[in-house]
Structures are given as structure tokens and as C-alpha cells.
Structure 1
Amino acid sequence: MVEIVGLISGGKDSIYNLMECVRNGHSIVALANLKPPKQQEELDSFMYQTVGNNLIDIIAKECLQLPLFQIEIKGTAESKDEHYVESSNDEVEDLYNLLKSVKDSIPTVKGVSCGAILSTYQRIRVENVCSRLGLVCYSYLWMRDQDTLLQEMITSQLTAVIIKVASMGLEANKHLLKSIQQLYPVLKSLNTKFGVHICGEGGEYESIVVDCPLYKKKINIEDFNTIIHSDDAFSQVAY
């Protein structure tokens, strides 16, 4: 058994990877999250999901009931090549500082849960940080077939709702706050017709997990505001 800190955005991938860590016999002892600067709900980051970040405290403290380590994203994507070159102003260094604070506070932590599925860019950077800190990256979803994986999430009693749409065929008034269970036929159809990534790996949508077997409490979203970022006729961006 390895003591693990879970990198979470609140989305289905990061939470489901926590479930896989537990299923494989590991212990989640803390959570870590990078939040956007104040007054910015949605940040154009190469690395991190920030929409829905206002629910991270609830997920950590009430749903998972685990200590949360959280710092603000200060850097930007300076090193954009596939192989990461350390740069003090890169957003990857924010992740380094975050995980270092976890390791300093909980020296028994030896692993990091990462929900990367397809992004080599993201995984290389997480592994770079882990290697510098002497941690092991656990990415159980890596390169899984996305259709099979999404169905597995659904049957595992994980309930995630869509909180951002950014793809042809997905619309705010029809699809926001719908569960992945409800939207699976739509996502499957869009994948068949247009090659849309069924797990949203192309940025087609973002999600937040409102219930899963690891949660002690379920989240009920009763009030929300929709922000239309781009009302393109072919691909609306809204959250």
C-alpha cells in the first residue's frame, strides 16, 4: 500500500483515478488542487481545469473528508514543447510548489494520483514534477479506450455533470448540468459522426463529480449562472 495525494480538479477523470488507486490497494491521504487567480473562474491553462473550482472545498472537506492543499496558479505555459524544460514562470512550477508543500507536511506520501487519459503534454509534466520530488505518478486511466472508460465510470456509480461545453453538437441550454449517464448517447453519436473525444480529451467538455462511492456526502447543485464565452454557430463555448 502506498500513501497517495490526489491531484483533483473535481472532474470525472481525477476522481475516477482516485477510485482506481483505492481499488488497487492504495490509501488516499490528502488532496491537492491548483486554483485560478481571484476573480477568474475560467483560466486558459494548458495543464489545469479551473471551471468548477468553487466546489473543490466542498469535495475535499465534505465529500471526501480529506485534507486539501491548494495554491493559486501564477505561471503560464512557457515551455510548450512536448518535453518540459524547467522555467521559473511556467505553470508547471506551481504544481511543483504545491506537491512539495504536501510532501513537506506529510512525509509518508510516496505517490500522486493523476487522471490523465490522453494528454502526453500533461503527463510528462506531472511525471517531471514527481521525479524531482521522489514521488511516483499513478495514472490508471492512461491510454485507456475512451468509450470503454466512460461506460466503466458510469457503471461504477460515479455521477458527473457537465459544467462546460466547447464542441460541435454540445449546447449550454441542452447539455449543461446533464450527467454523463444522460449524455452518453449524445457523446457516442458525436464521436461517431465528428470524431469528438467521448471523454472530452479534446477539450469538448468539462465535468464535476457530484457523487461516487468514495463520497461521504452527495453534492446537489440547485442554483447556477451560465456564462456564454463564445456563441459560435458551430461550437458554442459556455460554462
Structure 2
Amino acid sequence: MKKKIALSWSGGKDGCMALHKLIGQGHEIACLITTVPIELERTFGHGEKMEAILKQSEALGIPVHFIRCTFKGYTQSFIDSLKDLKNKYQLTSAAFGDLYLDEHRSWGENTADSAGLEALYPLWMKKDEAAQALQDFADSGYKAVIIRTQDNVLDDTWLGHEIDQQLIERMKSTPICPMGEAGEYHTFVYDGPLFKKLIKLQFGERIQMETTTRLELEDLSLIEK
């Protein structure tokens, strides 16, 4: 049965893999949904500029809806927005790109259920399958770069690196989850099979935050393919 889905979207590889798999299964992605702290105007998940997410939305040809919320009211804002989007798009489901953390899945299932939607986890796997998942992404034709690292596990030399075979080999010598499931690193996808346009970008300054370092993306523009 074809499902009509709102996909939780932070701009990185996991959401992109979920998008690709769901479309490959014949489902319709009605919209992307991205949470944004009211006071920052950047994404909750990766701290990315809203402009960058809008460029992805346009490149993919899928509308994005920003959920402006506070940390305290995050869950209720998510539920309320899902209810609105359910009515707007006649949604059947909400999908998430989580891989194996049970607490993340429980949150998504409860949130979707509260909005009257089915929760989908198209990438769900065992923890020891994460290395193969990273390899699958590198082989998929999608292009992504690391834009944020957790300082206690990865230094800033990882920033700006493509998810490619060279990075995978380097990743083997680190103690982290290869997919960064615990937030060890975050990525930004700028091209691939479902992208109707390429996102051209430049690397800006590196910003040291409390526990992470973020690479700014600048001069984003869309290029016809």
C-alpha cells in the first residue's frame, strides 16, 4: 500500500537514505519537516542555516516545513505540526532516519501516534550493521560532507570531508559509531540520484561551540544538472 509521508529532515545522510529507501518502495514523500529553535533560526539537529535546508528542499522538489519550537515545548510543537500537516497533505505516516537507538524510536512512535499517524523507521538496523550502512551511503551516488563534530571524539580535521572510501577507511580507526548515531558527527547532503539540482557551496569559518565544532556553509546556490 502506498503511504503518504512526512519525513523528519535535518539535512544529513541518514534522512537522505530514508528518503531514498521510502521512494524506492513506492511511497510518496509529501513534505520534509525540520525543527528550528525559535531564538536561533538554525536547525535543532545540526545547527544548520535554514537557507541550506531550503536549498535542499528546492533541489529535491519536496516542500519543507519548519517547526519553530523551544527545547521545553519540542515534543508538543512536533505533534501539533504533524496534525496540521496530516490535514494539509492527507498523511498516513511520519518517517524518521534513526538507526538503532531505542529511546529515539520510542519518542518518534509516541509522537506520531499522538498525531494519529504511523511511525516509519526505514533504516532500522542492528548496531553492528552501521559500518555497512556507511559503506552503502558512500556507494549510493549521494554526496555529503561533514559539517559538525563532537569535540571529545573527533577533532576538526574531519570537518569538510566527503563521505567517501577514504573517510570510511579513516573511520575504522576511531571508536565511534561509523554512522555517528550518537551525534559524533553530522553531515550535509548536496547532490545525488534524487536531487534535480546540485547544491554548490563554499566552506566558511569553523565555529567552536560548547562541546562541538561547526563548519559554516556559505554562498549556497543551485546548479542545473
Identify the residue that residue 138 of structure 1 maps to in structure 2: 120
Matched, 1:156 2:140: yes
The alignment partner of 2:105 has SS state of: helix
Q: How far has the Cα of 1:41 moved from its partner? A: 4.1
Aligned residues: 209
Shift of 1:212: 1.9
- Equivalent position amino acid for 1:58 in 2: K
Residue 21 of structure 2: aligned partner: 20
SS state at 2:107 partner: helix
- The question of 1:52 aligning with 2:35 is answered no
Rounded to whole Å, the distance in 2 between the matches of 1:223 and 1:154 is 21
Deviation at 1:21, TM superposition (A): 0.3
* Aligned residue number for residue 75 of structure 1: 71
Q: Matched residues, percent identical?
A: 27
Offset of residue 128 of structure 1: 0.6
Q: Distance in 2 between matches of 1:160 and 1:204?
A: 16
- Listed one character per residue, the Cα deviations across residues 63-114 of structure 1 (whole Å, up to 9, x for unaligned) are 11122211212233xxxxxxxxxxxx4x21121122112112112x111221
Deviations 1:194-215 (A, max 9, x none): x311100122111111112111
Q: Distance in 2 between matches of 1:14 and 1:105?
A: 22
From 60, 63, 66, the equivalent of 1:64 is 60
Query: After superposition, what is the alpha-carbon deviation per residue over 1:3-25, rounded to whole angstroms, capped at 9, x for unaligned?
Result: 11111000111111010101111
Matched residues in 2 for 1:33 and 1:5: separation? 10
Q: CA deviation at 1:39?
A: 3.4
Contact 1:6 1:32 in 2 (8 A): yes
| Cross-structure match for 2:223 | none
Post-superposition offset of 1:38 = 3.4
Name which of 155, 175, 185 aligns with 2:158: 175
**1:112 aligned partner:** 94
Q: CA deviation at 1:35?
A: 1.1
Measured in 2, the distance between the counterparts of 1:170 and 1:221 equals 23
Instruction: State the Cα distance separating 1:152 from its structure 2 match.
Output: 0.7
Q: Does 1:212 align with 2:192?
A: yes
TM-aligned CA distance change 1:53 to 1:121, over 3 Å: farther
Q: What secondary structure is seen at the aligned counterpart in 1 of 2:173?
A: helix
Distance 2:183 2:20 in 1: 23
Instruction: Please say if 1:197 is aligned against 2:177.
Output: yes
2:95, 2:9 → 1: CA distance? 8
SS in 1 for 2:19: helix
Structure-1-length-normalised TM-score: 0.81
SS of 1:238's equivalent in the other structure is: strand
- Contact kept, 8 Å, 2:46 with 2:148, in 1: the verdict is no
Q: Which runs of 5+ in 1 are unaligned?
A: 43-47, 77-88, 231-235
Query: Residue 147 in 1 paired to residue 131 in 2?
Result: yes
Which consecutive segments of 4 or more residues in structure 1 shift more than 3 A? Answer: 38-42
Secondary structure of the structure 2 residue equivalent to 1:122: helix
Range 27-36 or range 221-230, more displaced: 221-230
Q: How many Å apart are 1:170 and its aligned residue? A: 2.5
1:33-79 C-alpha deviation (Å, 9 max, x unpaired): 1112233647xxxxx5132243111111x211122211212233xxx
Task: Compare 63-72 and 7-16 and name the one that shifted more.
Answer: 63-72
Unmatched segments (≥5 aa) in structure 2: 215-225
| Root mean square deviation of aligned Cα | 1.9
